[in-house]
Structure 1
């Protein structure tokens, strides 16, 4: 199957799932859960561009989710900005901050890069928490639902479709980015930065570019999360555990697989809902299942099954 055809098939599958799912679920609760899958899937797709294709680790990516979420909250509550303008403001702020901090951070490699991004995430979370007069502190802040063409977007169904369309657009852009010369440069950097530089790739520029792009993805996901929930807190947006969840989604779905990021988000959002029957052992069972998945499918769910399917077809 050609690369273009493969991308179109993957996108068609995603569109079909988003279009058909509302017809199959019995209540709005399930639409709410699927909305969260699409929101976190969007953030995971952006992070996979950074980790899976460029090979750069980020343990503080939830910081950009927090920037996007609090941009729409502060824009609506304190500055009187319309919802769409606040989303754009958050994306621009995330891009600017990513460009600023990315230059020194992305010079680091391995554990040093992971620690540096971790510190950035902690810094954003602490800033949001400590500026209680502006952000509401640990208790968070309420986010007014936006008004578009005179309609206030407040229902679960509306945010289901908005987040679904946002995910489709995000996946489409990511697929085309991966297939472009930039994507080939990122894969070269992932394999060997020295070799990539030897063939003329501007390593520093390409790493910074994908870092900014992934930050914008996370920021838009954060803005959608804020509008969907109607209330945000530092832990629910920019907390360390949120960063760990995003990394887990990428690794579980498959590094270097755009659609795998969405599947990883689906697994990590759905599993806690399923495991509530275990009550006190919910987190233990979640951790155990995650470890088993990584051990059995070390390259991630989508790449592992794709490899087995290809080998069986051969």
Structure 2
């Protein structure tokens, strides 16, 4: 999630945002059909819901997405174990927008970025990228925010106040990368080389860390932070991310639609309007344009009110049905 300050007027107008024209069943059926026939690698990832758990790639399969040299850290058996531990943690996530499927899609987006970057960056390490993405959201598994960590009568009552949910979401967001990096450092201690641990932890921290200082210690580390940021953000706007979110709420009882609506509003208001100007996002801009267009067409088809909100903030022209 990105955070920029939207206008007060826009924010207040969307405090009660709760569309009633979402056709969830048709949207889900369409997504299952289109993923079977989609041939574009980018859109294949963006429409992968992994509802059949057997289709989720194993650690070995994720490691072998790219052909790497023998010095790449992905070949370290203990690092593969650590990656597997993170994926197992994310499988238990109660956050419908930050689960194992999100991690796998982000890694697959990173694979596309890796292939683009490797000709000019011969020493790019796939193991650092996979490990960082695997661990970058583990903090959220046990930390859903004050309002949702426990189901007490008071907290349930407070969940009816939109701006309190917004504050809760923001506080979790601010702690996520630091908490996830600390979890990784704790679980990987004395298991892999120290420098490798530090590089992965810095990549997990991403945009929330001091680039200049870190670059002086580990030259090239900024590129890993950028890849993690871009891969994570590409999935933010994917069709599958949204679909997995509301289906997990409806079918598994995770969180609630108030939380989903507030997260949607905050992401749209705070991140999307300026994403294309973000300097770190330049390497993923072509992929973003493809995913953005497909997501907007999908939303326009099944979620008309959401499409109206997106049309202005994503600089899209309304689609006439």
Larger relative CO (CA 8 A, sep 6+): 1 or 2? 1
Normalised TM-score (structure 2): 0.28
Normalised TM-score (structure 1): 0.29
